[in-house]
A and B are shown apart, each in its own frame.
Chain A
Amino acid sequence: MGISRKKFIDYVLGGSLIGWLGSTLYPILSYLKPPKIAEANVNSVKAGLMTDFAVNSSAILKFGRMPVILIRKEDGEFRAFEATCTHLDCIVQYKADQKQIFCACHNGLYDLHGQNVSGPPPKPLIEFDVNIVRDEIVVSKPKQV
């Protein structure tokens, strides 16, 4: 007999207490963790006709639940980026006068390649592909993402 009867009972009770706590807390914590909602897998979005877009202007597209900013540069070329700032998640805007992408939350600036040029953003914006299919603008997710 290695352990006394009292010790043994203590272990059993202590063990079941831990077991009980675990089996109570586990479902609660799991409940708090939101289930992954199957993201409607949007791979491309039609943004409209080319003629709808003035040069040097921008629009924000709904890419599923993700905002994407579409910019028509002065030379007529289109570019699109994920519109969520890489700093703290705010949504960026196009500054037509400076020809830059701007985040108003903490004055982050990106150039028209999505590179972060000044302010707090640590990373460039993810660029999306823009294709023109018979005058219609189609924005699609970059292949590698």
Chain B
Amino acid sequence: MMKSKIFNWVDERFNISPLIDFMKHKEVPVHKHSIWYYMGGVTLFLFIVQVFTGILLLLYYQPGVDSAYESVRFIMTKVNFGWLIRQVHGWAANLMVFFIFLHMFSVFFTKAFRKPRELTWITGMLLMFVAMGAGFSGYLLPWNELAFFATKVGTDITGAVPVIGDMMKVLLRGGDDVTGATLSRFYAFHVALIPAIMTLLIGLHLMFVQRQGMHEPDHFKNDPKRKVISFFPNFVLRDALLWLIVLNILLYLAVFFPWELGLKADPFLPAPEGIKPEWYFMFMFQTLKYIPAHVWFIEGEVLGVLGFGLIALLWVLVPFWEIRKKPGARFRPMNIIGTIGVIYIVVLTILGYME
């Protein structure tokens, strides 16, 4: 009684019946590639974890050259469960980027970026870039040695972009060098600007997905034995179960493989050995190492940055230049391009860690 009363009250004002109807009829196809339907959901879950743990960390974190490192140490040693919150935040960030990669490549290989999903793909790509920016800006916040030098190196690389590079570097660093001004900036990016942009993009991305429904592979669409499950409650329940599993993995990693805080950054100490970017930048970083200092008349760094810029742009625009396979041919050009990409990333990442 009560329930329907409340429902009617709300429905009269906001007309939610059509929404409920939509939910009821939403279906998720079941086939041998169905597993990939869950990757986006896991990414979303990890984003929620980030917002949640991020807000908790904000309660104790104090940006600033004299307080950032100390406040993080305070969180890790004095605050009840502070270590747990920080480790979960660090691990969820890494897992989120990892699942974004999985999600992206699964969409790429199943050709789910095709019409009408071009803009869904593009918002997804933008989300990936912004998420990497979140990782990069968050890395500096504990103001430890590794983060300090990684930020120096990372921002210096943006300086290699022709024409606007120097301006971008100064804009990022808040000056010519990595200082407290950089920390303030990265803090603002990390806790305000980037989450706001991400929330907006996620909203759009999800709205697109809802309007378009799930992508179905070609062979499946015309299959007479086509199977589906209902989105609500069947798919949602499976999603929830998976989220629970991911949460457990997250806690396990946080407890048994903690991220070290290391030493406080000191601009007047030599760089320590083993400066490494976060793993998802490693393949690009490693590539830069292999390009000689000067190629023909351009500087190696400039060439690398331009090269990656071009590849990123082509990747974003994939739905608009896709090479279709000839009817009946075994040769699938896009799968080969994608496979080369994956192998490249994996091999260079491994090489980067072996050095």
B interface footprint on A87-107 (CB within 8 Å = 1, 0 otherwise): 011111100000000011110
| B 304-330 contacts with A by CB, 8 A | none
Name which of A1-9, A45-53, A59-67, A128-136 contacts chain B: A59-67
Cβ of B272 < 8 Å from any Cβ of A? yes
Contacting residue for B152 out of A65, A89, A92, CB 8 A? A89
Distance A103 CA – B275 CA, assembled complex (angstroms): 11
Asked if A124 CB lies within 8 Å of chain B CBs, one says no
A37 within 8 A of B: yes
A92 to B149, CA, bound (A): 12
B289 at the interface (CB under 8 A from A): yes
| Given A32-B171, A90-B153, A122-B293, residue A105 in contact with residue B271 (CB < 8 A) | yes
Shortest A6–chain B CB gap in Å is: 33
* Chain B residues closer than 8 Å to A33, beta-carbon distance: 167, 170-171
User: Chain B at the A interface: mostly helix, strand, loop or mixed?
Assistant: loop
Instruction: Give Cα distance in the complex from A83 to B274, angstroms.
Output: 18
A41 to B171, CA, bound (A): 23
User: How distant is A113 from chain B, measured CB to nearest CB, in Å?
Assistant: 19
Question: Which label, helix, strand, loop or mixed, suits the secondary structure of the A interface?
Answer: loop
Assess whether B18 is interfacial by the CB under 8 Å rule.
Answer: no
B268 and A105 within 8 A (CB): no
Which of B167, B179, B271, B289: most chain A CB closer than 10 A? B271
Complexed CA–CA distance, A60 and B266 (Å): 11
Cα(A106)–Cα(B277), bound, Å: 12
Across the interface, name the chain A residue whose C-beta is closest to B272.
Answer: A104
Q: A105 and B153: CB pair below 8 A?
A: yes
Q: How many A-B residue pairs have CB under 8 A?
A: 62
Q: Point out the residues of chain B lying under 8 angstroms from A67, CB to CB.
A: 267-268
Contact call B275/A104, Cβ cutoff below 8 A: yes
Whether the Cβ atoms of A90 and B177 lie closer than 8 Å is no
**Do residues A91 and B271 form an inter-chain contact, with CB atoms below 8 A?**
yes
For residue A67, which residue of chain B has the nearest CB? B268
A104 to B149, CA, bound (A): 10
**Interface: A34 (CB within 8 A):** yes
Distance between Cα atoms of A88 and B157 in the complex (Å): 7
- B289 near A34 with CB under 8 A, answer no
CA distance A122 to B152 in the complex (A): 17
- Interface residue count on the B side (C-beta < 8 Å): 26
Q: Is the CB of B179 within 8 A of A65?
A: yes
Most buried by A among B153, B267, B269, B270: B270
Say yes or no: A91 contacts B175, CB within 8 Å: no
Decide: A104 and B273 in contact? CB cutoff 8 A: yes
Partner of A106, one of B179, B181, B289: B289
- Contact call B170/A105, Cβ cutoff below 8 A: no
Q: Knowing A60-B269, A60-B270, say if A65 contacts B157 (CB, 8 Å).
A: no
Q: Chain B residues with Cβ under 8 A from A92's Cβ?
A: 270-271
Complex Cα distance, B260 from A60, in Å, reads 26
Residues of A close to B157: CB separation below 8 A: 88
Task: Give the complex CA separation of A67 and B265 in angstroms.
Answer: 14
Binary CB contact string for chain B from 134 to 168 against chain A (1 if under 8 A, 0 otherwise): 00000000000000010011001100000000010
Residue pair A90, B181 in contact (C-beta under 8 Å): no
Q: Is A90 touching B171 in the complex (CB atoms < 8 A)?
A: no
* Contact of B41 with A by CB under 8 A: no
CB neighbours (8 Å) of A65 from chain B are 177, 179, 267
Q: Given A34-B170, A67-B268, output 10 extra A-B contacts at Cβ < 8 Å.
A: A60-B269, A88-B152, A88-B156, A89-B177, A90-B275, A91-B149, A91-B268, A93-B271, A103-B271, A104-B273
State the A residues within 8 Å of B (CB).
32-34, 37, 60, 62, 65, 67, 83, 85, 88-93, 103-106, 120, 122
A-B contacts, 23 of them at CB < 8 A, read A33-B167, A34-B181, A65-B179, A67-B267, A67-B268, A88-B152, A89-B153, A89-B177, A89-B178, A90-B149, A90-B152, A90-B275, A91-B270, A93-B271, A103-B271, A104-B271, A104-B273, A105-B149, A105-B153, A105-B271, A105-B275, A122-B293, A122-B299
6 closest Cβ contacts across the A-B interface? Answer: A93-B270, A90-B271, A104-B273, A88-B153, A88-B156, A89-B152
